[in-house]
């Protein structure tokens, strides 16, 4: 299927700008590990929603906290710390 001439002209005009906006970067081993921990933490958080077990929430927030800290997403670090503290208090008060 052939591209339309107008679309081809548009792509060639803005391609350098779009390439400059996208960072072509390979993840380091630490970032890959943190990403996998983040997925595992999201799984713990989802499991915690079904069982309402505080320990699942604590483990989930710890795992996701590693991911957002590695990626330097400081607003999400604060949110994860908030959840971790809240569920830790709930966990230790229920013992």
Any domain includes 86: yes
Domain that holds residue 57: 26-93
Any domain includes 15: no
Any domain includes 7: no
| CA 51 to chain centroid | 23
Specify the number of domains making up the chain: 1
Any domain includes 19: no
Any domain includes 12: no
DSSP for 52-79, written as a single string:
--HHHHHHHHHHHHHHHHHTT-HHHHHH
Q: Is 93 left (phi over 0), alpha (psi -120 to 50) or beta?
A: alpha
Q: Is 84 left (phi over 0), alpha (psi -120 to 50) or beta?
A: alpha
Query: What pLDDT, in 10s, does the model give residues 26-60?
Result: 889 999 999 999 999 999 999 999 998 999 999 99
Any domain includes 62: yes
pTM to 2 decimal places = 0.72
Confidence category of residue 95, pLDDT binned at 50, 70, 90 = confident
Any domain includes 56: yes
Query: What pLDDT, in 10s, does the model give residues 1-17?
Result: 565 666 666 667 777 87
């Amino acid at each position: 299927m052939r591209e339309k001439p107008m679309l081809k002209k548009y792509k060639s005009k803005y391609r350098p700008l779009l390439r400059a906006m996208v960072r072509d970067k390979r993840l380091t081993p630490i970032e890959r590990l943190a990403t996998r921990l983040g997925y595992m933490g999201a799984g713990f958080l989802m499991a915690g929603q079904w069982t309402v077990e505080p320990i699942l929430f604590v483990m989930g927030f710890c795992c996701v906290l590693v991911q957002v800290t590695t990626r330097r997403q400081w607003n999400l670090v604060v949110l994860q710390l908030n959840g971790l503290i809240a569920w830790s208090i709930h966990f230790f008060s229920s013992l």
